[in-house]
Amino acid sequence: MLAGLLSGRYAARMAKLSWAAPERNKGPILELLVRVLPASGRVLEIASGSGQHVVHFAAALPGLEFLPSDPDAAHLESIRAWRAEARLANVHAPRALDVCDADWGIGTLAAVFNANLIHIAPWACAIGLFDGAARHLAAGGVLVLYGPFNMGGQATSASNAAFDLDLQRRDPRWGVRDLEAVCALGAARGLELEERVAMPANNQSLVFRKLAR
């Protein structure tokens, strides 16, 4: 029995991913989420990655239920490992979710959060993200995006310009997105940009609010 328990703990350590970027940005992002998220309700995290963000946010916001998701099997295993270690009642088991699916099968949400997806994915994923948020958010619900964005068609820093070129070399469908194009996706779906917040390392957080119709 003890051997089985130790084996399970070893497997969890092996599955658990730990990335530098989430460790750096989880604090500043949480400061924003504390301010813009509702006091209660369900929050879907799109492309949760390693799982570092969701357990950090859930620990600080116990009134909210967090639903992590990712399309990658290794990431789902990592999220499970972080969740098991954190033992937080308000973090649901992770689910496989592709933002381009026509129905996320998830019901009504108070908020949707995503960090660093739409520049490392085809533009169709940005469209799918906004389509899904518009379908599932309750009226007045919020969509929060974090990552690098161009403004007025220009990079906001030399490092972001270099990052954009590197992304496009890796896959021509990728690239740092224009803020105006992202906001237009939201506006067409009843998601109005409420706030743009400058973040560390030349990133931005965008807060969209679903309009009542």
| CA separation for the pair 189, 184 (Å, rounded) | 9
Region 155-171 average pLDDT: 97
Look at residue 212 in the predicted model and tell me its pLDDT: 81
pLDDT at residue 213 above 80?
Answer: no
Look at residue 9 in the predicted model and tell me its pLDDT: 52
CATH topology of domain 2-210: Rossmann fold (3.40.50)
pLDDT at residue 112 above 70?
Answer: yes
Q: Which two tokens stand for residue 35?
A: 């301010």
Domain residues of the chain, as ranges?
Answer: 2-210
Q: Where are the alpha helices (DSSP H) in the chain?
A: 2-15, 20-36, 52-60, 73-86, 123-136, 158-170, 179-187
| CA separation for the pair 3, 171 (Å, rounded) | 45
Q: What percent of the chain has pLDDT over 70?
A: 93
Q: What is the pTM of this model?
A: 0.92
Cβ 189 vs Cβ 130: under 8 Å? yes
Instruction: Work out whether strand 64-70 and strand 95-96 pair parallel, antiparallel, or are unpaired.
Output: parallel
Average pLDDT, the chain: 94
pLDDT in tens, 47-92: 999 999 999 999 999 999 999 999 999 999 999 999 999 999 999 9
Q: What is the dihedral of CA 144, 145, 150, 152, to 10 degrees?
A: -20
| CA separation for the pair 148, 162 (Å, rounded) | 12
Look at residue 5 in the predicted model and tell me its pLDDT: 39
pLDDT band for position 6 (cuts 50, 70, 90): very low
